[in-house]
Amino acid sequence: MSTTKIIEADPEDPQIAINAAAELLAAGEIVALPTETVYGLAANALDENAVAKIFEAKDRPSYDPLIVHVAKPEDVHLVAEIPAEVEETINKLMAEFWPGALTFVLPKKDSVPDSVTAGLPTVAVRMSAHPVMRAICKKFGKPIAAPSANLFGRISPTSAQAVLKELGGRIPAIIDGGACLNGLESTIVKVQPGKKSKDEIVLLRSGPVTREMMLPFGKMVKPKVKRDAEGKADAKAQESPGMLDSHYSPVTPFKLLEKPEDFVAEEGKVYALLSHRGTSKAGYLHLHDWDTVEILSPGKGKLSEAAVRLFYCMRKLDEAGVDMIVAEPLSEVGIGVAIMDRLRRASEK
């Protein structure tokens, strides 16, 4: 494949783009689609040959499971079972956060190929809030597998142009639905019966739907990350995407510094700074004569703005031609937990 076509989803009349995407999916092809979180690389979730094209285009290892998107809540039953003992809690969460950036890990049905779930007995399912993505799901009429539309382990794309830079020439088309509104991948949870009265919500991946937002619905529980003999997350034993120690990484060496005094510049190296507010208060801005500075939330430091701009700013710094990118830490409250999760996984260990 030599060219990748960008098809604009006109906000006034997106039907041409919607039809084009549905036709590609029906033909067993892959296509990059916009969601409210990041752009996804989509294929028919029930077609093993189509799903294989996702893994090939992304250079994604077969042990990393995919998220399946559905058009409406009742379509969950096409790919998954909702256990009776936690059905009430899951239905409440769906009613509150769907359509939206919340993914559930549920027991899978036999109709879902093992390649989608990396051989696991569970499948990750969500219903996107992006109007174009939802319309394509409805038009296509089948569940759609769609991990982030980037090379495996790299910075997630939040625009059609970012997808083109990552996967241009590897995929037939990109549906341009504008910039993503959330900027971070969906929150992933597993609901299990609690030891007392409340069901337990296991937070497998932090995202736009925060811990605080889900607290009224159950007891929040940290996942048990399976690790190998060296203490690293066992890549072949994780329950959902986004649980590997290293992920979301730029090509340029990247380092999250928990405190300013941890920074030691090497002579002759050129450094860039990923700053939260762009002020000297954090102690990083005047620490060094940075070649380039990108600011996540200029002045106000809004975590919601920082989340939207995170991957965009990381990508800009990755293209700046520096020797290393240094990142300031952010407050770990609300969406800040998800931002710091991405920064830690992108940082050199």
Binding residues for ATP, as ranges, are: 60, 148, 156, 205, 248
Cβ partners under 8 Å of residue 69, min gap 6? 35, 40, 42, 45, 125, 126, 127, 128, 133, 137, 143, 144, 145, 146
Which parts are annotated binding residues?
A: 37, 60, 69, 122, 126, 146, 148, 156, 186, 205, 248
Contact 152, 44 (CB under 8 A): no
Beta-strand (E) ranges in 216-314? Answer: 219-221, 254-256, 271-275, 292-295
Which parts are annotated binding residues for L-threonine?
A: 37, 69, 122, 126, 146, 186
Neighbours of 153 (CB within 10 A): 17
SS3 307: helix
Kind and range of the H or E run holding 217: none
Contact 237, 229 (CB under 8 A): no
> Is the preceding peptide bond at 99 cis, omega within 30 degrees of 0?
yes
Amino acid at 42: A
